[in-house]
Amino acid sequence: MTERVADTPEVLHVEMSDLRAALTAGWRDFRAAPMFGLFFAGIYVLGGWLIVFSLTAKGQLWWSLPASAGFPILGPFIACGLYEVSRRRETGEPMIWGEVLGVILRQKDRQIPSMAAVIVVFFLFWNFLAHMIFALFLGKATLTNITSSAEVFLTPEGLAMLAVGTIVGAVFATLLFALTVVSLPMLLDREVDFVTAMLTSLGVVMQSPVVMLGWGALIGAGLFLAMLPGFAGLFVVLPVFGHATWHLYRRAITWDHETA
């Protein structure tokens, strides 16, 4: 892949029809190159299994709730492989494993690691806040075995903790979504700095807030439901959303006089 040097990204208005078209194209990409989708989704699923296993082994399964809620934050970086597959289908380049993986490996010398650092900071800070919120509302509950006494979450303190945690988590997820929804595919596609990519991504959300926040809600709900059967649903949902995000990026951004 030869990266195209970017001039100035222009944010376009996005309609609901663009979301439908992006999802249709994402499903088409997944069906055309399923092994790539299954491979990249498999990395994500394996990570989820390892998190749950490590927490279960330590007898702290209840911590899988904030961990599993925060783990999708890492999804956009894993999806870079899916963006590359969609880009190659768009340009008619061959689907060669070595070349696809090579493009992803070469990102270490570009701006995507900086974006990955931002994502990891969000992930770690969310887990810190989850611990703090738990301690604030249910600190004394550690005197009982929460793993076998889940009814503690139905107490006034437990319900308050769940409410506050949900609100804080939603704020974090919305902000991260706004900063990454088109920034990662943009960094894969063009030679731009990660700050410009994040600001452009934020601009896309501000330009079409209802549509883009609806897209974020759809992704959140889809990933949550896909994680319920032991993360297995992610083998389909994650590739489709990853491919669709590339196509949404192409519909939401244009460069100077270039037509997306």
Q: What is the pLDDT of residues 15-71, one digit of tens each?
A: 999 999 999 999 999 999 999 999 999 988 887 787 777 667 655 555 555 555 555
pLDDT of residue 260: 42
pLDDT of residue 140: 64
pLDDT of residue 108: 78
| HSE-up (13 A, CA, CB side) for residue 209 | 3
pLDDT of residue 161: 84
- In the chain, the amino acid numbered 38 is L
Q: Is 68 exposed, middle or buried, given 0-12, 13-18 or 19+ CB atoms closer than 10 A?
A: middle
pLDDT of residue 74: 58
Show Cβ contacts of residue 153 under 8 Å, excluding neighbours closer than 6 positions: 159, 161, 162
Residues of the chain with pLDDT under 50: 2, 259-260
Model confidence, pTM:
0.82
pLDDT of residue 40: 92
